Homo-oligomer: A and B are copies of this chain.
Amino acid sequence: MIAHYPVRFAHCDPAGIAYYPRLFELCDGAIEDWCALVLRVPRRIMHLELGLGMPTVHMEARFIAPCRLGEILDIEIAARRVGNSSIDLTVRVGCGGAPRFEVDYTQVLMTLTEARATPWPDAWRTIIESELTVRNDA
Contacts of A57 in B (CB 8 A): 62-63
Interface majority SS on A: helix, strand, loop or mixed? mixed
Q: Given contacts A32-B9, A59-B60, are A44 and B25 in contact (CB under 8 A)?
A: no
- Taking a contact as CB atoms under 8 Å apart, the answer to whether A32 and B53 are in contact is no
Residue A42 is within 8 A (CB to CB) of chain B in the complex? yes
Q: Given contacts A19-B10, A70-B42, are A58 and B63 in contact (CB under 8 A)?
A: yes
Return 23 A-B CB contacts under 8 Å, by A number. A8-B29, A9-B14, A9-B19, A9-B28, A9-B43, A10-B21, A10-B29, A13-B13, A13-B14, A14-B47, A14-B48, A14-B69, A15-B55, A20-B56, A20-B59, A43-B69, A47-B69, A56-B61, A57-B63, A58-B60, A58-B61, A58-B62, A59-B60
